[in-house]
Amino acid sequence: MKALIVDDESRVRKAIQLLVHWDEHGITEIKEAANGQEAMDLIPSYRPNLVLMDMLMPLKNGVDLMKWISDHYPDMKFIVISGHDDFEFVRNTIRYSGMDYILKPIDESAINEAVSKAASTWKAEEEERLILQQQHVQVNEYRPVYSEKLLTSLLEEPSVHPHVANRLKTEGIVTESAEKVRLAVLQIDPTDTALFERFDHHRDLLMFALLNICNEFLQKNGAGIAFRHFGAHHRIVLLFWDKLDVVTVLLNEINEGIQRTLSRYMHFGIAREGRYPEDMPELYAECVASLASRDLTVLNHFVHDKSEFQNRSEDQPTAVQFSSYEDQWKLAVLSGQPNLIADAVEEWTHDIRKSGFITPELLAQWDHEIERFSNHIAHETVNSASETLLKTYRKEMNEIVCPNPDKYVCSLAEWQQYWITSMSRLSSTLLTQTQAGGDLIQDITAYIDQNYQNEVSLYDIASRFHVSREYISRKFKQKHQVNIPEYINRLRISKAKILLQNPTLKMAAISEMIGFKNEKYFSLVFKKHEGISPNEFRKRHAKHA
């Protein structure tokens, strides 16, 4: 890459030469010019990729140079380095697509960051230019990759809008008159096996066929262009810059063409009118939202906008909320009874069907809430061991194909079976963990028996065995009919009764040996269990001996 430094002060040009890490940015040749006119004379033969310029210079100033570069060499990148924090200068830098505006005195990190950004941008654009040069294809033939990338970037990268929008018009991909536009998104059902089989499961061939149909109608009417979204494999975007008031009519005509050719009607999400290219990301998001909010219970309706969801009358039933069914599902899952699980899911899906309102967005939301519900049950049941349990559960769930919310035809029976299967797998995994809890309680009991003379808390046990305190407490009591503190006290008292038979051991020593740090407390616990004090127990034993 080549760079040109333009400043009427030689010391500033020297400073820039020293501060910029040229090699790191891939810049191997640097020249200088003392003013804008000198730069204009040099640029046609030198052809730098990057220009670093001052604003206030004799003959031709920075604004003159920026405008000249923008008119004659729009691919050239430039950075302004000025001693004046002037809004008008900054505004002109932005207007002519300058990469940055840096104030003097020059900060080394700031200028290197700006040069790095400019160099990276130029390289990326140069790569696109090379692709265009190498392919030598007409824009209207086969929709080459570079044009799809450019059009897709309008939907995702606002920072490149001015440059890309100009290039699209220059290349004749978008009409020069495009100012107000509308977008539509055609979404292919990824589960339509029969359709994909017609193209030998070759998605690119299917997309090519759909693009041909769409563009045949659009170009015939001079209304716009259809292109494949580079990051969404099952979506085609239709950009309208003319006939904006009859977009729905045109989409229905396109759909009739698709039906005649592929025996399918496709669903389209459409957006309101917006500015080109500023509103493109927002319009695209609106199209996607329109598709996600379409009512799957309504048949033979294929062009959707967000007003369908917003304008639902108040007397229509609202969407079913999963939170209202969580307690019933929880009891069913924890019961381990398949019939209770099936009944809980059946009631849920029955109410969904009764509501008469299902959207892809709701299906995805419900599935997410059910996943959260499963995680909550796992954490609540086994706490610290929940990750192991969930790992096992997710591995089993990977064997089950989740219905796709974006299917053109919603089968609630398919979702119902999926939910029954997933909850049955969760219940089975929990049951396995519970059964394994029997061996766990044996290990915990053995640990207590070996360490009763030390401080053994429920928290310590839970940490040691990686199981929740609630789970240990519940399972331990089920097995021993007493809680852990009571079990430890009984064990200590049984050991104390043996030690008390040795008349040479003092009471304080016995108390400490069995885990009581306080002799008085030991005496209280002993009396509670045996009905007599340790001293009385010792006397009676000595008398019988």
Residue 59 to residue 200: CA distance in whole angstroms: 67
Do residues 97 and 162 touch, judged by C-beta distance below 8 A?
yes
- Say if residue 170 is in the same domain as residue 157: yes
pLDDT score at 375: 83
Per cent of the chain over pLDDT 70 is: 92
- What lies within 8 Å, CB to CB, of 416 at 6+ separation is 345, 346, 349
Using the 8-state DSSP alphabet, how is residue 82 labeled? Answer: E
CATH number (domain holding residue 483) = 1.10.10.60
User: Among 435, 454, 478, where does a domain finish?
Assistant: 435
429 close to 435: Cβ distance less than 8 angstroms:
no
| pLDDT-wise least confident of 43-57, 159-173, 460-474 | 460-474
Smallest CA-to-CA distance from 326 within 370, 365, 357, 390 is with: 370
Give the other-Cβ count within 10 Å of 104's Cβ: 15
| pLDDT per position as a tens digit, 485-532 | 999 999 999 999 999 888 888 999 999 999 988 889 999 999 999 999
In a domain, 314, yes or no: no
**Quick check: 506 and 534 in contact, CB under 8 A?**
no
- Residue 30 parent element (H or E): strand 29-33
Res. 201 pLDDT band, cuts 50 70 90: confident
> What pLDDT band is residue 87 in, cutting at 50, 70 and 90?
confident
Residues 363, 457 within the same domain:
no
- The model's confidence at residue 136, banded by pLDDT at 50, 70 and 90, is very low
pLDDT at 95: 78
Least confident of 270-279, 396-405, 418-427, 527-536: 396-405
**Which of 397, 414, 435 is the last residue before a domain boundary?**
435
Same domain, 343 and 267: no
How sure is the predictor about 466, in pLDDT bands with cuts at 50, 70 and 90? Answer: low
Domain that holds residue 89: 2-131
103 within some domain: yes
Q: What is the pLDDT of residues 96-120, one digit of tens each?
A: 878 888 888 888 999 999 999 999 9
Instruction: Give the single-character DSSP code of 77.
Output: E
Separation of alpha carbons 351 and 344, rounded Å: 11
What's the rounded mean pLDDT across residues 290-306?
89
Q: Is the pLDDT of residue 138 over 60?
A: no
Mean pLDDT over 381-399 rounds to 71
Tell me the per-residue pLDDT of 356-379, one tens digit each, with 9 for 90 and over. Answer: 888 999 999 998 999 889 888 777
CATH number reported for the structural domain that contains residue 197 in this entry: 3.30.70.270
Looking at the structure, do residues 93 and 192 belong to the same domain, yes or no?
no
Examine residue 361 and state whether it is found in any structural domain, yes or no. Answer: yes
What values do phi and psi take at 431, rounded to 5?
A: -65, -40
Same domain, yes or no, for 170 and 113?
no
Q: Tell me which amino acid residue 247 is.
A: V
Determine which helix (DSSP H) or strand (DSSP E) holds 31, and give its type and residue range.
strand 29-33
Q: Are 393 and 378 in contact (CB under 8 A)?
A: yes
pLDDT digits (tens, 9 = 90+) for 415-452: 999 999 999 888 887 766 655 555 678 888 888 988 88
pLDDT above 90 coverage of the chain, percent:
39
Residue 282 has pLDDT above 90, yes or no: yes
473 in any annotated domain: yes
Same-domain check for residues 92 and 12: yes
Give yes or no: residues 369 and 296 share one domain: no
Residues 124 and 157 in one domain: no
**Confidence band, pLDDT 50/70/90 cuts, at residue 171:** confident
374 within some domain: yes
Confidence of residue 386 (pLDDT cuts 50, 70, 90): low
pLDDT of residue 311: 58
Among 230, 253, 228, 246, CA closest to 238? 228
11: domain CATH number is 3.40.50.2300
Does residue 315 belong to any structural domain of this protein? no
- Is pLDDT larger for residue 391 or for residue 262? 262
Same domain as 429, residue 328: yes
d(CA 456, CA 453): 8
- Shared domain for 344 and 423, answered yes or no, is yes
pLDDT of residue 59: 87
Q: What is the mean pLDDT of the chain?
A: 86
Spatial separation of the C-alpha atoms in residues 51 and 49, rounded to whole Å: 7
Q: Which residues of 61-70 are buried (b: 16+ CB within 10 A; e: fewer)?
A: bbbbbbebbe
The answer to whether residues 154 and 99 belong to one domain is no
- Is residue 493 within 8 Å of residue 510, measured between CB atoms? no
Q: Which pLDDT score is estimated for 213?
A: 94
Report the interhelical angle of 484-499 vs 519-530 (nearest 10°). 100
Integer Cα distance of 189 and 311 in angstroms:
26
Asked if residue 317 has pLDDT above 70, the reply is no
Q: What is the pLDDT of residue 142?
A: 47
Same domain as 51, residue 153: no
Strands 235-240 and 224-228: antiparallel
Give the N- to C-terminal CA distance of the chain in Å, as an integer: 105
Q: Of 51, 56, 57, 117, nearest to 88 (Cα)?
A: 56
Quote the pLDDT of residue 137.
42
Q: Which one of 309, 337, 372 terminates a domain?
A: 309
CA 183 to each of CA 96, 139, 168, 281: distance values in angstroms, whole numbers, following the listed order: 28, 20, 16, 10
Is 467 part of any domain?
Answer: yes
Domain total of the chain: 4
Alpha-carbon distance values, 532 to 13, 495, 497, 535, 538 (Å): 100, 16, 12, 8, 10
Minimal CA–CA distance to 171: which of 153, 152, 147?
147
Asked if 22 contacts 28 with a C-beta cutoff of 8 angstroms, the reply is yes
Measure Cα distances from 491 to 347, 499, 522 in Å. Answer: 50, 13, 13
Whether residue 411 is predicted with pLDDT greater than 90 in this model: the reply is no
- Cβ atoms of residues 251 and 303 within 8 Å: yes
For residue 511, what are its two tokens? 């108390």
Please check whether residue 459 lies inside any domain of the structure.
yes
**pLDDT at res. 162:** 84
